[in-house]
Structure 1
């Protein structure tokens, strides 16, 4: 009884600490829309003389039409080609000369551009992003240049990388109808077949103010920044095309799907992917905490059991994909030398079953909560992280203030919730399984 009482006190203390942390470090922000539909979020933070300028376009690979995959990722590259007022290839040099850095990324659901600059270079970041939005250079030279760049990226990161095709194989096997069946990088064939007119139409449809969120965090004066935003973005016309949002619902999977992939590897691997609800749902938070339980650090269950104790794997992890529509929960392991792939899969299954049948100890659950809290705080410990989080919360959830309150959703998850979602979603009929084997083991035709 005494032990239970102490544990209860620890849980209460942790919950209060999380609440105090959130309130004590509350991230204040200003949020508004321009008449052209551009959504703006501003966070003023004078702790360092830096500023993050970011634009999130609500377009990812799931917005592409059949036969024209890879457009969103292609535009991630193409939009650095220059504009009517910025020479080809000058984006990077302009930012670097100002002492900053820039980058972009594309997912199933969004494309995200950002500059990290000294705060006295805020106007530069705004000008660069306004130019990108107003009149990006989409011509034959840029398209052909970036076609080659994207093709080389695919060869380097996927085709010639051990286990590099994992994403393509997992998602194409798990999704039969939903656009998530195609990875953001797309295919050479689709990009090569596209005309310049199709690229320009894609730009005019998605890269418009009413499909964008401008999120700025750092050493700024909010009122002065509003004036600059009006100066650079105010005259950009609202998009006139309807922005397509896919409403495809993936049919419920009722039987396990399996595939064997022969790759240029030496060690076999097992990948298991389970269908799970979309980000932001109650069960997603429990599944996310389950992921941390299974692979959040060297002492987590999967690496501890498979790598340290049984020594049948050289690596093991679990990953939930945070997607706008229902997505996937992945577990994977790379076999140790001489270990059969079937034995590795059985060991992985055993760890999943252990979550379903054995209750978490109070100590393990408290450690899990502490780690989730730490990860959440670290995610928003820089102006770059804050700018991105504010944009994500606004676009995906319609509530930028989740940057201050989402941690409480995690803290509401109980031990029973984690066990329940493991039983409900991590089932054989709800998963796909891939075995990656060395090319040398491929049967002769």
Structure 2
């Protein structure tokens, strides 16, 4: 009964979903190299401006980990036109909001504002692209801020520390093994000269993509972009993003971390996995569906049904994959054991479920349901102009093309059972894996894990 109902719902959703979303997208470039994407949505008089710089933590020079994230903070310190720390206040006074974020492959800044205030935020964003002013006091103050951020978000969180250690073990040669926020001992030495060198090289129109989404027209955006970004000089320090690549992985790595702050011990495993490649997204689409099949739903996924409901050895299971990166990504699994179940036992059960899946494959009805749900989620996400701006900005920043971004839904829809199994057999290889145990310290007289 449940199986037929699920299949019928999946078929109904498939028939209801459009093949492509009717969202007008226009692209062009300025003479100084700035790429511009305009996404029209005239339902409300609001607009999102995002500027994406093609520089992230994986592009940092050795010994300067965290400089990209540090510079993200320093970008709010002002210019000759905008007073120190006044940027966000000006945006807020106009009824908008703003923020910024850093990853391994990009740094982005955005503002949400009324459409008739676009010229104001564009002028301010363009101004700080090449006219940032930094004092030694600014740098010293903000360095303490990022050190405190690391203390709060990483050093005081056992889960974050485990993930950090696992990434360092996962990526043996790639800079993806370095944390975005940086290693503390290197963060403490970051200087004004380091920040300005990074800024002057990477913060330039020929290393950026401007995304404007909302109640705008391409003609208006071009006019404003030419006025504010057009006069900015490009950087001569921009070249191909060639990074050290991973060698063949020959053995699984294992990490056990015990911390008295841990409330729920768990097993966490990541595998090295291919990223979305320009012009060829088939494997990434299959891995996206595989993650949903294995652990995307807390009640119907393969791991949930086997470990939480059938064997009752776990209280939580999940799987994840995001291949939107320049180099190899990760495919991950997590299991929180039920009370009285050891990490060793629940990991053994996890391995048995994975082995069974590799032998028997997915239930066809479940595969169809998951494939439809994943595609539906992608399509429904287009209802938010901010989500759309993020999708295009992120994709273009890691080397995907507009055609790749717009063809992602079709790639998901084309995933077959054979594709899923090919992806599973390639990725679920323990030689490519790092397995982590997060637990509490053993009590006196108790065996250590």
Q: TM-score, normalised by structure 1?
A: 0.92
Distance (whole Å) between structure 2 residues aligned to residue 353 and residue 124 of structure 1 = 57
- From 35, 41, 51, the counterpart of 1:39: 35
* Shift, 1:235, TM fit: 1.0
Unaligned runs of 5+ in 1: none
Contact 2:307 / 2:314 at 8 angstroms: preserved in 1?
Answer: yes
| 1:317 equivalent in alignment to 2:318 | yes
Q: Where does 1:76-95 land on structure 2 (aligned, <5 Å)? A: 76-95=72-91
The aligned counterpart of 1:399 is 401
Q: How does 1:362-441 map to 2 (within 5 A)?
A: 362-440=364-442
Report the alpha carbon displacement of residue 33 of structure 1 after superposing the two structures with TM: 1.0
- The residue that corresponds to 1:356 in the other structure is 358
CA offsets per residue over residues 189-225 of structure 1, 9 Å max, x none?
A: 2122233212111001111111100000100132122
**Match of 1:267?**
264
Q: Which residue of 2 aligns with 1:287?
A: 287
CA separation in 1, counterparts of 2:377 and 2:425? Answer: 26
**C-alpha distance in 1 between matches for 2:331 and 2:407:** 24
Question: Which secondary structure does the structure 1 equivalent of 2:83 belong to?
Answer: coil
Q: Which deviates the most, 272-281 or 172-181?
A: 272-281
Cα distance, 1:247 vs. partner?
2.7
Kept in 2: contact 1:58–1:109 (CA 8 A): yes
Q: Is the 8 A contact 1:167 1:183 kept in 2?
A: no
Give the drift of 1:11. 8.7
Partner secondary structure for residue 184 of structure 1: coil
Contact 1:318 1:329 (8 Å CA) reproduced: yes
Q: Is the 8 A contact 1:57 1:110 kept in 2?
A: yes
Q: Distance in 2 between matches of 1:416 and 1:223?
A: 46
Question: 2:264 & 2:340 partners in 1: Cα distance?
Answer: 8
Q: Distance in 2 between matches of 1:175 and 1:127?
A: 40
Q: 2:331: which partner in 1?
A: 329
Question: Partner residue of 1:235?
Answer: 231
Kindly indicate whether the alpha-carbon contact (under 8 Å) linking 2:139 and 2:191 is maintained by their aligned counterparts in 1. Answer: no
Distance 2:186 2:378 in 1: 39
Q: Which of 95, 98, 107 is the aligned partner of 1:99?
A: 95
Deviations 1:4-36 (A, max 9, x none): 9xx8x9999876655xx133x232222111111
User: Given that residues 159 and 165 in structure 1 are in contact (C-alpha distance below 8 angstroms), is that contact kept between their aligned partners in structure 2?
Assistant: yes
Work out the CA distance in 1 between the residues paired with 2:98 and 2:128.
13
Does the CA contact (< 8 Å) of 1:391 and 1:400 recur in 2? Answer: no
Answer yes or no: is the 8 Å Cα contact 2:298–2:316 preserved in 1.
no
1:222 is aligned, of 215, 218, 221, to 218
- CA change 1:321–1:29 in 2 (3 A) is closer
Q: In structure 1, how many angstroms separate the alpha carbons of the residues matched to 2:392 and 2:435?
A: 35
Summarize deviations over 1:24-66 as a string: whole Å, max 9, x none: x232222111111111111221111110100111111110121
Distance 2:276 2:47 in 1: 28
RMSD: 2.3
**Alpha-carbon distance between aligned partners in 1 of 2:184 and 2:249, rounded to the nearest angstrom:** 30
Is residue 356–residue 420 contact of structure 1 (8 Å, CA) maintained in 2?
A: no
**1:304 counterpart = 2:305:** yes
Q: Could you tell me how far apart the structure 2 residues matched to 1:261 and 1:113 are?
A: 35
Equivalent residue of 1:193, what SS?
A: coil
SS of the aligned residue for 1:163 comes to helix
Q: Is the 8 A contact 1:311 1:336 kept in 2?
A: yes
Q: Normalising by structure 2, report the TM-score.
A: 0.91
- Asked if the contact 2:70/2:195 (under 8 Å) is kept, the reply is no
